[in-house]
A and B are shown apart, each in its own frame.
Chain A
Amino acid sequence: MSRNVQVILLCEDRQHEAFARRFLTRAGRRLKVQRIEINPKGRGSAEQFVRERFPKELAYYRTRKHRVEQALVVLIDADKKDLAARIAQLDAACVEAGHQPRQPDERVAIFVPARNIETWLAYLEGRTVKEDEDYPRLNRERDCQQHVEQLYDMCQDGTLRHPSPPSLEAACAEYRSRLQA
């Protein structure tokens, strides 16, 4: 019987999906993406989708916490907010839905690229980035493979290239504490 950790990936768009999935595959550690929940195109705000869906996914995670090796991985862009504000929004969405916010011992990782995933991609291409600026999209989502390799190598070494975006530093810490531990 497989002893994989079943990962549910909740994210805004295909670029999030491609990036997160490739990183998890690269990281190995039995993390197997079982299910992707992504904002359907043309269906309103993508971050709103993640915010509204998060309490349901967290509640489901808890119902089988003791029976299944599982993880919930969330990607939501900071956009014009910051990391703490996005996490606070997700916590508030849980409370509003009648659930406890995410707990420290839960294998629930929330990654918040600031300003968005393109900021991280630009950094991983070797550019110096600012988290309040916009950077271009990749032509094809799958082209992020090389960026993922870069990130994985830096994560393995334990340090990001300076100056690094604070949101990516936070994401690496999140990965180590919530998924790698």
Chain B
Amino acid sequence: MIKRVYIDNYKRLVNFELPLQELTLLLGPNGVGKTSVLDVMFALRQLLTGTAKVTDKTAFPTPTLTRWQNRNTQAFELDVILGEDVLRYRLEVEHERSTRKGRISLETLDSQGGPLFRFERGEVHLYRDNHSAGPTFGADWSESAMARVPPRHDNTKLTQFLDFMRKAIVCGLYPASFETESSTEDSVLDRDARNFAAWYRHVLLERQELVPEFTKAIQDVIAGFRGIRMERVGLDTRALMVMFDQHGERYEMRLDEISDGQRALIALYSLVRLAAGQGYTLFLDEPDNYLALAEIQPWLIELADACGGEVPQAVLCSHHPELIDYLGSDHGLVLRPESSGATTVRPSRDLAMEGGLKLSEIVARGWET
């Protein structure tokens, strides 16, 4: 799991430290940087899977530099616990504001005992698990050199870290964008989960045995839901069909024919029930969107139970009172803007006070700025 995120000179996050638990709820006013944290995680995932170059729109384009800072270098760090090891990944991105060009000036991975990888000024230094120096070679500054390192018997820690990052799911569900048909099996869920059907095909292949329990969980929350099947509509193309059994009739609807809320429920329960045990770390932006009030807490309970076990870690951003009251006192972190413009973090339980108010009621009375 990720125990610490450090972000500097990215949007409004300057010298920003974020400690994380197995389950963390990020709170705070709009514009304080909650979604920016998720954007950074998504960008790092894109870089480290080799699917984006450093200044691509989905990574760290120059406009993401903090506007009130004159510095041209962004820095990001992740402290990740993997087994017995604590690994620290550090990335520095150097921008040229006038040309909007950028490059990776430093990319490192260390464990307690020493270096595992170093990419500096275009030169890669590989190290073995025991930190002894390996080969050195030149690489393209515009992309993560670590993403190109193939797995070997003596770089298992680095490989484990890359695998961990590949399994970061960062999304804010936008059910209206969900595509019903897919011709591929996607191991990565898009930022808005538009490729949900393709991702569902992938997890279905991986964990077929989880489908009955998943189906049962959805049956508890969607009236008449019977199951999901992938219908062949082309040579390789399948359409996600939702089966119902209601009013004595059995019928099917395409994913794009059911309601946004039902699509969100299916996606949210998939993330907890079908992604279970596969090492997925979840970063979810406002998962409560589209859900009815009575649907939120049951899903949160499922998620909270899974965290630290079947789902190694989850980080949620939300303004919703249901999330604030259920998770806030034990798992909440409030991001708040300081007069300097920077954003700081403190546990939301510090907001709790005597007087009979719930945490959400305290939050509703305005942030202390």
Report A's interface with B, CB cutoff 8 A.
1-2, 4, 14, 21, 32-36, 40-44, 140, 142
Bound-state CA distance A40–B329 (Å) is 7
List the 7 shortest-distance A-B pairs measured between CB atoms, nearest first. Answer: A42-B352, A41-B329, A40-B358, A1-B223, A2-B220, A41-B352, A41-B349
Cα distance A85–B264 when bound, in Å?
A: 46
- Do A44 and B356 have beta carbons less than 8 Å apart? yes
In the complex, which of the residues A35, A42, A44, A142 has the most CB atoms of chain B within 10 Å of its own CB atom? A42
Which residue of the partner chain A has the closest CB to B246? A1
Report the minimum CB–CB distance from A8 to chain B (whole Å). 11
CB of B308 closer than 8 Å to a CB of A: yes
Which residues of chain A have C-beta atoms less than 8 A from B246's C-beta? 1
- What residues make up the interface of B, taking CB atoms closer than 8 Å to A? 219-220, 223-224, 246, 294, 297-298, 301, 305, 308, 325-326, 329-330, 349, 352-359
- Separation of A40 and B305 alpha carbons in the complex (Å): 19
Select which of A21, A32, A142 is within 8 A of B308 by beta carbon: A142
14 extra interface residue pairs, beta carbon distance < 8 Å, beyond A41-B330, A42-B354:
A1-B224, A1-B246, A4-B220, A32-B298, A34-B297, A35-B294, A35-B297, A36-B297, A36-B326, A40-B325, A42-B352, A43-B355, A43-B356, A43-B358
Least Cβ–Cβ distance between A171 and chain B, in angstroms: 22
Chain B residues with Cβ below 8 Å from A32 are: 220, 298
- B220 and A43: CB pair below 8 A? no
With a cutoff of 8 Å between Cβ atoms, the chain A residues found around residue B305 in the complex are 142
Structural contact, A43 and B298, CB atoms closer than 8 A: no
What is the bound-complex CA distance between A36 and B352, given in angstroms? 19
How many Å lie between the Cα of A4 and that of B308 in the bound state? 28
Whole-angstrom distance between the alpha carbons of A142 and B219 in the complex?
25
Contact in complex: B301, A43 (CB < 8 Å):
no
- Hey, which chain A residues are within 8 Å of B355, CB to CB? 43
Chain B residues near A40 (CB, 8 Å)?
A: 325, 329, 352, 358-359
Q: Which residues of A contact B352 (CB under 8 A)?
A: 40-43
Closest residue of B by beta carbon distance from A35: B297
Subset of 28 A-B contacts with CB under 8 Å = A1-B223, A1-B224, A2-B219, A2-B220, A2-B223, A4-B220, A14-B330, A21-B301, A32-B298, A34-B294, A34-B298, A35-B294, A35-B297, A36-B301, A36-B326, A40-B352, A41-B329, A41-B330, A41-B352, A42-B349, A42-B352, A42-B354, A43-B354, A43-B356, A43-B357, A44-B356, A140-B308, A142-B305
Closest CB of chain A to B348's CB: distance in Å?
A: 10
Taking the nearest CB of chain B, how far is it from the CB of A60, in angstroms?
13
Kindly list chain A residues whose C-beta atoms are within 8 Å of the C-beta of B329.
40-42
For A42, list chain B residues within 8 Å (CB): 329, 349, 352-354
Complex Cα–Cα for A44 and B356 (A): 8
B358 surroundings in chain A (CB, below 8 A):
40, 43
Question: Shortest beta-carbon distance, A28 to chain B, in Å?
Answer: 11
CB closest residue in chain B, given A32: B220
- Docked Cα-Cα span, A44 to B308, in Å, equals 30
Chain A residue with minimal CB distance to B220?
A: A2
Q: Shortest distance in angstroms between A24's beta carbon and chain B's nearest beta carbon?
A: 11
